[in-house]
């Protein structure tokens, strides 16, 4: 009886170690980051597109967007989403999931 209990305990210890190793080898969360600079008139439309592609705003600040000689009010935003994105895109919809 004692020998059976020792074998069961040993097997449980081995299983616990194997589960611990498997958990330790799990990859950590990876994030992709990008920058979006929509003008005021396109802000909601661009945010909805980015959100539908899995992006969320991390930071935003007031900025200006220059088109030719004209400056327009805009927002400069840093966005993130789960997963690795190859390359870097100013337009977050270029690397959609």
- pLDDT tens column, 27-46: 567 889 999 999 888 999 99
β partners of residue 38:
none
Q: What is the pLDDT of residue 97?
A: 45
Q: Are 18 and 57 in contact (CB under 8 A)?
A: no
Q: What is the pLDDT of residue 68?
A: 81
β partners of residue 7:
none
Q: CA 64 to CA 86: how far, in whole Å?
A: 28
Q: What is the pLDDT of residue 96?
A: 47
Closest CA to 73 of 82, 60, 84: 60
pTM tops 0.75? no
Q: Are 37 and 65 in contact (CB under 8 A)?
A: yes
Q: CA 79 to CA 47: how far, in whole Å?
A: 10
Residues of the chain with confidence (pLDDT) below 70: 19, 21-28, 85-97
């Amino acid at each position: 009886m004692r020998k059976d209990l020792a074998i069961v305990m040993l097997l449980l210890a081995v299983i616990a170690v194997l589960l611990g190793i498997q958990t330790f080898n799990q990859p950590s969360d990876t994030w992709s980051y990008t920058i979006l600079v929509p003008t005021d008139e396109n802000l909601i439309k661009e945010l909805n597109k980015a959100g539908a592609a899995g992006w969320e705003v991390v930071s935003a600040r007031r900025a200006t967007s220059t088109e030719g000689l004209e400056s327009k009010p805009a927002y400069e935003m840093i966005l993130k989403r789960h997963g690795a994105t190859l390359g870097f895109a100013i337009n977050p919809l270029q690397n959609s999931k």
